[in-house]
Structure 1
């Protein structure tokens, strides 16, 4: 088994903990495709996410190369692109551009992505 669960394992764990499922319409089951669903975003949102993704990639490579000062504070990051008052934790970010790191979720038994074939 993998040391950390996949995105589907993470989503199920959030739902079981009383949080919300951030993308319920995306769970079409393994092997069943869906049509493309267009999304909208403003340029600065895309830049913010892209910069965080680039920093995450660089920090991960540097950490593996022996630079422990580049270790990220968690496995999953949430970015507050638009404040949503009243949302369940961990999605209860209070400010635009707020960043929250979360630990990994263990794999769920029977997960076809996490378990070896």
Structure 2
């Protein structure tokens, strides 16, 4: 994940120069990512870098201390689902139910249809 347009430019320059081997990059234009972006709690204080940094710090603190089950294979509830139903990670049933597959549908895309303005009487031009 790359956040901030300045960082995006640096990453794109590295890609153009052939210095990277990444297969996927997520760019977020917000400084600090989307932590200070739309859908976030609003306060009576105007957003500032100081407020964003405090929010970032509190989210990372919560993430590391409260959410202990960060790795699914260490989550006891997930382990029970595998034992009772999915058999084991990467089993045929787990693959079928939990994993998605990419299907290239770019051939189905069509060009935008040309809009034709109609006169006030509703008659078609040409």
TM range (shorter): under 0.3
Q: TM-score w.r.t. structure 1 length?
A: 0.25
Q: TM-score w.r.t. structure 2 length?
A: 0.23
Higher relative contact order (CA 8 A, sep 6+): 1
